[in-house]
């Protein structure tokens, strides 16, 4: 079911009605029924894979929890009888058993994810390799990738690891874990929530509350506005530039890249606003995914503010476990002795970052473009980390004050341009196309003589005005968000009737510009990941 | 505790570790500082720190870190 359809509006209307009419103890059942219904409407064939993930994680987490509890009870009961060595041996044995169960479940689920996501890519590489020897590997695989498999697999594996590490308690009811896995507002594009954050919200009773309804509905409209007016109109421009950059000027191609930066932000954050708004109406607080990312002062900071839930996931379940693993710590210790303290400190983090960023690239898509994209992001972050000391010295020598607004503006502008260039790399087509687009920007210097030469990808100019207005509005909102929620600010400063007018105006812009732009362009960029 | 304070001051000498209790939540320490901290604590106190110990409550203050170290040493 498309999020930008009347059916979806009827779906959420039905959900809200049933959700607030049933006794509160049944509210989570309603969420489960609607989530499974939403998922089944997207394709019944995907449902068994979702069930496999939820049930395997439920059973494994129960097993891990029961074993850990039994071990704790045994050790407590036999405290006086067991020596320190015996206690340690028992703990080590128990941990090994639990780790084995965890590994099996991770392999099963990551295996399913990899088979669905990477089989075509791997077959293409095998075919290229076979071609060198005159052979051929045919890709006859024709299956449908389960909806949201990248998101729900990560979310569920996060739960499993948390239970293994004792950070979360295993859920005893399999249907509750199924709701956590399949919760429809987040299944197609995240956020990837932690069990401890989301479960408390999902299973708590919620009443219909005017403030939540009003603020949630405002955010919902804002999200539709960002997606349907800004992202969908820009999508037409961006597709044109990516397809024809070879015949456009460097400046027009650069403007196309900027359009892509605005489009992907409006698209992804628009989706988040729609879903966070809907959840707010239901009384559920979803994990936020954005914190004004284009105002970041470094690539590392940008990744702490863009798709935050994915960044936190990779940090908690990939980066930290690799960085603090025994072998990596030993390597760091060895490097400290032989290559100096600083090198030894940086090495474990660097290795963990390399793996994390290549994995992040692969998570986004099975192509060399995404692997390069992850690599370039990782390279900037690792380079900045190693250069932190020299940078501090240079800034001191040049008398640069960190708090000076000009310096901060420079950092924000530089980071925005860097992430924009990195973003377009995998999106143009192949990696060769991405690099070709970069080359075009830097090597084609002809100056435009008219607006149509400057913006060759713009046909009708009226939607362009809507884009300029919506991007300007998003910029203004981001500026205001520095001091807190804009909806709260509107409530404090703007009279009720005027506030209504603002959202009615946005609604009409959606109808006038957004609806025509959304025919055939309704898909969200992050839904493909 | 002195050994721990030495490690912490080595990572960031500008923090008052007697009073600071939001080292992680307040983003005083980034992920790289945390890795360096874990390496140095493991080495100095000869203990094993894993992902299970990586929760903000264990690293938000010097006192919390000290408590965690003591509890691991007691367990071992």
A96 and A174 share one domain: yes
- The answer to whether position A14 is within a domain reads no
Judged against a pLDDT cut of 90, whether residue A266 lies above it is answered with yes
Task: State pLDDT tens for residues A93-114.
Answer: 999 999 999 999 999 999 999 9
A443 and A413 share one domain: no
Domain that holds residue B51: 2-75
- Residue-averaged pLDDT of chain B: 89
- The answer to whether position A11 is within a domain reads no
Indicate the pLDDT class of residue A527, thresholds 50, 70 and 90: low
Judged against a pLDDT cut of 80, whether residue A273 lies above it is answered with yes
A41 and A167 share one domain: yes
Q: How many Å from the N-terminal Cα to the C-terminal Cα in chain B? A: 19
- The answer to whether position A496 is within a domain reads yes
Indicate the pLDDT class of residue A366, thresholds 50, 70 and 90: confident
- Number of domains, chain A: 3
Task: State the complex-level ipTM.
Answer: 0.90
A433 and A501 share one domain: yes
Indicate the pLDDT class of residue A225, thresholds 50, 70 and 90: very high
Q: Output the 3-class SS for A466-497.
A: HHHHHHHHHHHHHHHHCCCCHHHHHHHHCCHH
CA-CA distance, A293 to A272, in Å (whole number)? 14
CA-CA distance, A313 to A170, in Å (whole number)? 19
Indicate the pLDDT class of residue A276, thresholds 50, 70 and 90: very high
Can you tell me which residue has the tokens 């914190």? A291
Measured between CA atoms, how close is A388 to chain B, in angstroms?
Answer: 12
Domain holding B63: CATH number? Answer: 1.10.1200.10
A324 and A376 share one domain: yes
A189 and A333 share one domain: no
pLDDT mean over A364-386: 92
A53 and A176 share one domain: yes
Of A152, A185, A205, the position where a domain reaches its end is A205
User: Is B12's Cβ below 8 Å from some Cβ in A?
Assistant: no
Judged against a pLDDT cut of 70, whether residue A285 lies above it is answered with yes
A516 and A432 share one domain: yes
Whether A167 and B42 lie within 8 Å, measured CB to CB? no
- The answer to whether position A113 is within a domain reads yes
- Number of domains, chain B: 1
- The answer to whether position A96 is within a domain reads yes
Q: What is the pLDDT of residue A163?
A: 97
A280 and A354 share one domain: no
Task: State pLDDT tens for residues B36-71.
Answer: 999 999 989 988 898 999 998 999 999 999 999 999
Judged against a pLDDT cut of 60, whether residue A520 lies above it is answered with no
A45 or A57, higher pLDDT: A57
User: Is B73's Cβ below 8 Å from some Cβ in A?
Assistant: no
- The answer to whether position A1 is within a domain reads no
User: Is A315's Cβ below 8 Å from some Cβ in B?
Assistant: yes
Indicate the pLDDT class of residue A137, thresholds 50, 70 and 90: confident
Domain that holds residue A64: 32-205
Whether B51 and A326 lie within 8 Å, measured CB to CB? no
User: Is A89's Cβ below 8 Å from some Cβ in B?
Assistant: no
Task: State pLDDT tens for residues A390-410.
Answer: 998 999 999 998 889 999 999
User: Is A528's Cβ below 8 Å from some Cβ in B?
Assistant: no
Identify which of B31, B43, B76 has the shortest CB distance to residue A315. Answer: B31
Q: What is the pLDDT of residue A451?
A: 84
Q: What is the pLDDT of residue A315?
A: 95
Task: State pLDDT tens for residues A451-509.
Answer: 888 888 888 888 899 999 999 999 999 999 998 889 999 988 989 899 999 999 999 98
- Residue-averaged pLDDT of chain A: 91
Q: What is the pLDDT of residue A388?
A: 86
A44 and A172 share one domain: yes
CB of B38 closer than 8 Å to CB of A322: no
Identify which of A161, A167, A321 has the shortest CB distance to residue B55. Answer: A167
**What does DSSP assign to residue A316?**
I
Q: How many DSSP H helices and E strands does chain A contain?
A: 25, 0
**Cα B19 to Cα A241, B22, B23, B63, distances in angstroms:** 55, 9, 10, 9
Active site residues of A: 364
A192 and A65 share one domain: yes
Q: What is the pLDDT of residue A522?
A: 57
Of A419, A447, A473, the position where a domain reaches its end is A419
A186 and A248 share one domain: no
What is the model's pTM? 0.91
Q: What is the pLDDT of residue A1?
A: 78
CA-CA distance, A431 to A361, in Å (whole number)? 13
Question: Which residues in chain B are contacts of A349 at CB distance < 8 A?
Answer: 31-32, 35-36
Judged against a pLDDT cut of 60, whether residue B73 lies above it is answered with yes
Contacts of A333 (CB under 8 A, 6+ apart): A344, B39, B43
Identify which of A324, A332, A333 has the shortest CB distance to residue B51. Answer: A324
Judged against a pLDDT cut of 70, whether residue A525 lies above it is answered with no
């Amino acid at each position: 079911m498309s999020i930008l359809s009347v059916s979806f509006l009827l779906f959420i209307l039905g959900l809200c009605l049933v959700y607030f009419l049933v006794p509160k103890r049944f509210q989570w059942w309603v969420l489960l029924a609607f989530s499974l219904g939403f998922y089944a409407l997207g394709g019944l064939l995907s449902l068994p894979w979702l069930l496999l993930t939820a049930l395997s994680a439920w059973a494994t987490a129960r097993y891990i929890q029961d074993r850990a509890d039994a071990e704790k009870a045994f050790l407590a009961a036999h405290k006086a009888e067991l020596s320190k060595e015996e206690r340690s041996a028992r703990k080590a044995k128990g941990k090994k058993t639990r780790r084995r169960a965890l590994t099996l479940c991770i392999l099963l689920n990551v295996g399913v994810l990899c088979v669905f996501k990477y089989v075509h890519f791997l077959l293409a590489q095998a075919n290229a390799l076979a071609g060198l020897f005159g052979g051929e590997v045919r890709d006859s695989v024709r299956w449908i990738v389960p909806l949201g498999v990248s998101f729900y697999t990560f979310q569920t594996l996060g739960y499993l690891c948390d239970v293994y590490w004792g950070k979360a308690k295993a859920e005893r009811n399999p249907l509750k874990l199924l709701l956590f896995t399949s919760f429809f507002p987040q299944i197609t594009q995240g956020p990837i929530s932690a069990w401890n954050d989301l479960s408390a919200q999902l299973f708590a009773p919620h009443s219909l509350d005017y403030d939540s309804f009003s603020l949630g509905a405002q955010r919902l409209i804002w999200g539709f506005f960002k997606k349907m007016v800004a992202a969908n109109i820009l999508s037409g421009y961006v597709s044109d530039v990516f397809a024809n950059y070879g015949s456009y000027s460097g400046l027009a191609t650069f403007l196309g890249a900027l359009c892509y930066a605005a489009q992907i932000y409006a698209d992804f954050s628009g989706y988040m606003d729609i879903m966070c708004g809907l959840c707010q109406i239901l009384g559920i607080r979803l994990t936020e995914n954005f914190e004004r990312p284009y105002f970041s002062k470094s690539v590392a900071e940008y990744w702490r503010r863009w798709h935050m839930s994915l960044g936190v996931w990779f940090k908690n379940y990939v980066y930290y476990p690799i960085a603090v693993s025994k072998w990596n710590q030993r390597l760091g210790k060895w490097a400290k002795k032989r290559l100096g303290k600083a090198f030894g400190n940086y090495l474990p983090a660097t290795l963990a970052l390399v793996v994390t960023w290549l994995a992040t690239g692969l998570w986004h898509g099975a192509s060399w473009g995404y692997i390069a994209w992850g690599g370039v992001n990782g390279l900037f972050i690792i380079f900045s980390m190693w250069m932190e000391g020299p940078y501090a010295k240079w800034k001191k020598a040049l008398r640069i004050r960190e708090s000076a607004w000009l310096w901060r503006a420079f950092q924000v502008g530089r980071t925005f341009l860097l992430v924009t260039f990195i973003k377009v790399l995998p999106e143009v087509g192949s990696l060769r196309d991405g690099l070709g687009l970069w080359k075009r920007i830097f090597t084609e210097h002809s100056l435009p003589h008219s607006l149509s030469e400057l913006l060759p990808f713009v046909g009708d100019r009226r939607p362009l005005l809507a884009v300029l207005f919506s991007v300007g509005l998003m910029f203004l909102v981001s500026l205001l968000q520095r001091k807190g929620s804009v909806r709260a600010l509107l409530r404090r400063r703007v009279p009720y009737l005027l506030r209504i007018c603002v959202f009615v105006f946005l609604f009409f812009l959606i109808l006038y510009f957004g609806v025509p732009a959304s025919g055939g362009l309704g898909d969200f960029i992050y839904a493909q990941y | 505790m002195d050994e721990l304070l030495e490690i912490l001051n080595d990572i960031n000498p500008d923090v008052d570790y007697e009073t600071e209790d939001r080292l992680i939540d307040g983003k005083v320490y980034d992920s790289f500082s945390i890795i360096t901290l874990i390496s140095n604590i493991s080495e100095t106190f000869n203990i094993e720190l894993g992902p299970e110990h990586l929760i903000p409550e264990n690293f938000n203050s010097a006192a919390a870190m000290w408590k965690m170290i003591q509890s691991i040493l007691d367990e071992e």
